[in-house]
Chains A and B, each alone.
Chain A
Amino acid sequence: MNIVVPIKIVPDLVEELAIDASGAALDNSWLRLIINEFDDHAMEQAILLKEQAGGQVTVIALSAEGVDDILFTAAAKGIDRLIKLETEEAAALNNHALARALAEVIADLKPDLILTGVQAHNDLDGSVGPLLAELLGMPYVGYIAGVKVSGDGALARKEYPGGLVAELLVQLPAVLGIQAAEKPPRYVAVSKVRQAMQTAKIDARPCPTLDPAGGLAPLRLYQPEPAERATMLEGDVEAVSAKIVELLKNAGVM
């Protein structure tokens, strides 16, 4: 089984976000970048499938601050092949452009299965998985939590609201949008990542042309001002605890 996992590098939402001078994009220069958490699950699911049925897993990312560390961490977890597409244009990137570039590279890899995160928090023009699937002429199913492969098909468990699951049979090759891996993404010790830095090789190559057509460009970005904000309870731990107890009594909860 030849599995490819394209990953997207996104701003860490724990940090304060900033909007750039154009007013229509995030200012990536000040942001800490991390792997899209759903892509981390896609990578884990790929490794689980490899452990069960053998095969090779390739991870592909565009160049970005810190991406080498993310790729070496992937290698330490069990990813066989690391590809980095080098570009200076990542800031102006949308998913249509990203999917086109990925499709060009992935077509040559002839994968049986492509697993990628069902979404990323900064998706504004669809998500990479279904765009990629259509460009490669493959079927797509998203919101997947659990995959089994047999013969030329994948049995995928698709999540619906309320905990309902649909089991779908998907012809391979296919793209699946992963919501959650069957197990939480594995932890890997720093020493193993350091080891991977010595032994694993990143296949760096120029990124194909980035064409953003199809993504509707935003006129502006802004930070929302909620109509009402919570009344903040001030004071130390004891004072706030006492205030909460009062609130709960008044609300008839206690």
Chain B
Amino acid sequence: MSQDIFVVVEHLRGEVAEITYVMLGMGRTLAEGTGGKVVAVLLGQNATGLASDLSADQALYVEHPSLAEFTPDAYSAALAAVIADAKPRAVLLGSTSIGSDVASVLSARLKLPMISSCRTAGRDGTLQCQICGGKIMAEARLPDSTALVTVIPGGHPADAGRSTQPAAVTAFAPPELSQLRVSLKQYIEPEAGDVDIAKEPVLVSIGRGIQTGDNVELAEELAKALGGVVCGSRPVVDQGWLPASRLVGKSGKRVKPKLYLAVGVSGAPEHMEAVTDSQLILAINTDAAAPIFGLAKYGTTLDLFDLVPALTSAIQQAKAA
């Protein structure tokens, strides 16, 4: 076994995902403790160019037509071969639509211990993981044997994983990739036509606290008074109270408004990671322990159903004056 830290490079349609750089930063911290190298593991076809700005000591590249687009089946098979061959100290994967699809599969297939949702790692091998919607942290330690770790953003800056000096790329021969059970039919682009919340300067964001679809109107009124638009968190979109184009979060859009007014949003990590670039976050939530108050600059625990109508008229009056 080596003391190297492997980072599985996430990319989709020719673009390396931000979480890759976060993981390379975390990997560097861990490698400083273990004394091993940081190795970026890149799977794809004609994809070596993607390694050009990765901050790693080495890049392992696995090329195969079946790896041209992500499918969990082909990725798991290729990564299982890489891990079994190199036996690194740890393998970091994104806690994402790509990484989470393969990490648990690899844990069961290779009988390797795994831990999820790691936010911060220390040189001493301690891992701080975030669970229960950000309300609980779990501390674990990297074991002596190869471990799989899925990573969430927020603990290590992505800049630490970028470099202008490309790592040396070494080819790794792919295993037999036949008998694949999952294939990509097509990509479906997000629907255009609605406002682009990523470009809006004023956002009123609603969460589960809004309770019913009819109550969305309260937020619409407030947004109208402010000259902004309404967006929301996952539960609101899943309930069909807002269209998918208004979703803020891991599977939706990243936003960077001047004002992010969070109304009844608890602040689950999947939501929070997409709003960190907002200039001013103000939160209304009756739960004083809601994680959103850890990110917001100002907050109130008043009931949104009392406050929002009053605030809407106060804004209208202030504008009229």
Contacts and interface: CB of A to CB of B under 8 A. Distances in A.
A245 B41 CA distance: 50
Contacts of B183: 168-169
Given A169-B182, A232-B299, A245-B315, A180 B113 contact: no
A159 B296 contact: no
B319 A254 contact: yes
A169 B185 contact: yes
B52 interface: no
Interface stretch (A74-82, A106-114, A234-242): A234-242
Interface residues of A, number: 89
Interface residues of B, number: 101
Given A160-B251, A249-B318, 17 more contacts: A13-B132, A125-B116, A126-B107, A126-B150, A134-B105, A139-B181, A142-B97, A162-B253, A166-B184, A167-B186, A167-B187, A226-B293, A230-B299, A241-B310, A244-B311, A248-B226, A254-B226
A167 B115 contact: no
A138 B66 CA distance: 19
Given A139-B72, A251-B279, A121 B131 contact: yes
B186 A13 contact: no
Interface of B: 12, 17, 69-73, 96-97, 100-105, 107-109, 111-117, 129-141, 143, 147-148, 150, 181-191, 201-202, 226, 234-235, 237-240, 244-245, 247, 250-254, 258-259, 266, 268, 279-280, 282-283, 287-289, 291, 293-302, 306-307, 310-311, 313-315, 318-319
A93 to B, nearest CB: 14
A237 B300 CA distance: 10
B182 A122 contact: no
Contacts of B294: 224, 226, 228-230
B318 A245 contact: yes
Interface of A: 11, 13-14, 16-17, 19, 26, 37, 41, 95-96, 99, 118-119, 121-127, 129-131, 133-135, 139-143, 155, 157-171, 174, 177, 179-181, 183-184, 213-224, 226, 228-233, 236-238, 240-242, 244-245, 247-249, 251-254
